[in-house]
Amino acid sequence: MAALWGAVIFSGFYHGVNPGMGWPLAVSAALFEQKAAALGKALAALALGHFIAMTAILLPFSMMLTLAEFQREIRIGAGLLVIGLGIYLLLNRRHPRFLARVKPTQLGLWSFLAAMAHGAGLMLVPIYLGICAVDELDAGHAAAGELMTANIGTAFVVALTHTAAMTLAGGVLAVGMYAWLGMKFLSKSWFNLDVVWALSLILVGALGIWHAG
């Protein structure tokens, strides 16, 4: 269980470091407005969008009463879904064009769409299902309402913990870039994690299937 919660936090740090999750946009917003406060405001908007995206993916799983009886099958299916998305992103390297159409002032919306498009929420599903561990419960005697309430609460805590770790990691990079290095340095030293991201989805999906077995 400690390892699973560690995975929630680690994946949050990983998402935060990834430029594709938006921290460079927070830097550019602060430089454009020439206000340090704009950096915090932008990071908050990115965090809100990411949190909503995580809960939008996790909540449907938390409300599945069949999770108690068919958890193994659901976890394997979720793992295969994550692996499939990872393979798709490896084959299709194009970034979603609709993200470029979102206005710079709508960072929360952009963060939500970016997380959805990159499968950030799906990456949490196998971890979340492992944390629920309802296969240890007697499904015949577990109250459905109790089980659902517990799962929904866990979904929110997972999403919140993950988003906090993401915001911390991205925020540290954004503050460092804004205070000392600037966008000129970023434009020259841009690092692309697309392949690593896709491979990590495949890895998480495989681990989810292995853990379900």
Query: What are 82-119's pLDDT values in tens digits?
Result: 899 889 888 886 766 767 777 767 889 989 998 888 88
Mean pLDDT, rounded, for 123-135: 77
pLDDT in the model for residue 163: 94
| Torsion, CA 5, CA 151, CA 205, CA 114, rounded to 10 | -90
- Length, in residues, of the chain: 213
Could you give the CA distance from residue 123 to residue 117 in angstroms, rounded to a whole number?
12
Residue 134 Cα distances to 67, 84, 85, 154, angstroms: 7, 25, 26, 12
Could you give the CA distance from residue 195 to residue 199 in angstroms, rounded to a whole number?
6
- Confirm whether pTM is higher than 0.85: no
Could you give the CA distance from residue 97 to residue 92 in angstroms, rounded to a whole number?
13
| Secondary structure letter of residue 119 according to DSSP | T
- What pLDDT, in 10s, does the model give residues 49-81? 999 999 998 888 777 755 666 777 878 888 899
pLDDT in the model for residue 137: 47
All residues at 6 or more sequence positions from 94 whose CB lies less than 8 Å from its CB, including other chains: none
Q: Residue type at 150?
A: A
What mean pLDDT, rounded, does the chain reach?
80
The 3-state DSSP class for residue 189 equals: coil
